Amino acid sequence: MSYGASAGPNLLPFSTQLGRYRILEPLGQGATAVVYRAQDLTGRQVAFKVLNPAAASQPHMRSCFQLEYRTLARLRHPGILQVYESGEANGRLFIAMELVEGGTLEEFLMRAKSIGEVAAIDIARQVAEALDYLHESGKIHRDVKISNVLLGPSGRAVLFDFGTVYDTYNPADHAPGIYGTPAFLAPEQIRSEGEPDKRSDLYSLGIVLYLMVTGRRPFYGSREEVLEAHLTQTPPPPSAWRWVSPKLEQIILKALAKKPGDRFESGDEFAMALRGVEVETEQPKPRLANRLRAWLEDTVRQE
């Protein structure tokens, strides 16, 4: 679900009243729900997520929607979207959430392509810290990607859309299958073997960081080709596309290790590694005439 997704069907008319919330405008639409800007009776504006009727008719989708609220209601972290309440009004299931004025990381990258190492490190560090808190709470996000990170005006990065979250304390609540978005899936998520692992989220964050730094993902192709690449192909080093500080490149490639045991063990470890990066500036290459002069001088000295 992206705040910035283009609007389409299933939209509620302006000023529709759902319970104590009045719809102001659509903010974005996903496959199963629409997020609106809404206002409650006190005048507070919220992000108001409403499940589409078709999705609401499916017990599994209703269950996932309600699980998302129950999960977020227990979490309190600056890097995780806060929820206020959930309910049903006029036959529509809704979640009222914190309104983060800004846009998604995906929207920003569509305009900027890449954002520079300093900003990329700061955003990735914030998300890593949020994931560490989430994992310590017994939850796995399973869909970390650029469209699920909001950027506030003060530089705050906020992880949201917990519709596919996995609760390690209640594994029986979850149906088997592949969850997440192909471009960001860890190999073990694709194999769908065993219990979801927190290091899968860190792999996905590694893809996000790769994309922020280089302006592209490591793998492209059809859905099947991308999934196969995650399973079998070594990702091209970020420096294959543009200058990347060596320490930062090491961190990205560690996050993208095929085996979970070769990655960072926790979001905190990932964040600590990012805090230790010294951004280096690419040294400009000398002009051809200067290189030729230096070569001639060296040749004369050797003679």
Q: Which amino acid is at 237?
A: P
257, 231 in Cβ contact below 8 A? Answer: no
Closest CA to 174 of 29, 71, 93: 71
d(CA 222, CA 98): 36
270's CB contacts (< 8 A; 6+ apart) are 124, 128, 131, 132, 202, 205, 251, 255, 264
254 assigned binding-site residue: no
Q: Which amino acid is at 241?
A: W
122 annotated active-site: no
Indicate the SS3 state at residue 8.
coil
Closest CA to 144 of 204, 77, 98: 204
Q: Which amino acid is at 273?
A: A
172: exposed, middle or buried (Cβ count in 10 Å: 0-12, 13-18, 19+): exposed
40, 122, 143, 262: which one is catalytic? Answer: 143
155: exposed, middle or buried (Cβ count in 10 Å: 0-12, 13-18, 19+): exposed
Annotated binding site for ATP: 49
Which of the residues are catalytic? 143
